[in-house]
Amino acid sequence: MTDAPHSDADHAVSQLSQSMAQAAESQRLLAQEMSGFAKDESLRFANLRLERNGSTLDKLQHCQGIPGLIGVQQEWLRDLVQDYTSQSMRVMTAMRGFTKHAMESAAENASDNIERMKSQAQDVMGHTSAAMEKTADQMTQMAQDGSNFVQETQH
């Protein structure tokens, strides 16, 4: 009976360690996904802006006078704002997806841990209840034995 509480505690610690390891692995994978996305998006955005800037330089070589220069500049500014806005939306959408995935994973892990803890608590309560019943039975038996002993010594 003394091994049961120790093995239950060892089992609980083992499961907690396993849960912590799963959470750490999930966080590592999330960080890896996010850094890969950030790298790819940064490269994509930098290439897009380089293409736009090259196109703008070509247009500047062929523009006519101040109105042409202002037109090219306005087009470049419009594209710049549009590209940054699109990039912000892409990043925001991706981060929302990463966050949603992380929250779903955390909720699933928490649910699994709660169910495991409930089961362990019920097992411990069962062991405790059995031990208390055994102790009560032993106390009753000792009281009866003591009562019988007193009665025998009085006769």
- Domain boundaries in the chain? 7-123
3-state secondary structure of 99: helix
- Cβ atoms of 79 and 52 within 8 Å: the answer is yes
- Per-residue pLDDT band for 135 (boundaries 50, 70, 90) equals confident
What token pair was written down for 1? Answer: 């009976």
pTM reported for the whole predicted model: 0.58
* 3 CB-near residues (< 8 Å, 6+ apart): none
Look at residue 134 and tell me whether its pLDDT is greater than 60: yes
- pLDDT band for position 104 (cuts 50, 70, 90): confident
Q: pLDDT at position 13, please?
A: 74
At position 101, the amino acid (one-letter code) is: H
Higher pLDDT, 31 or 8: 31
* Single-letter residue type at 128: T
- Comparing CA positions, the residue from 92, 56, 97 lying closest to residue 74 is 56
| Rg from Cα positions in the chain | 36
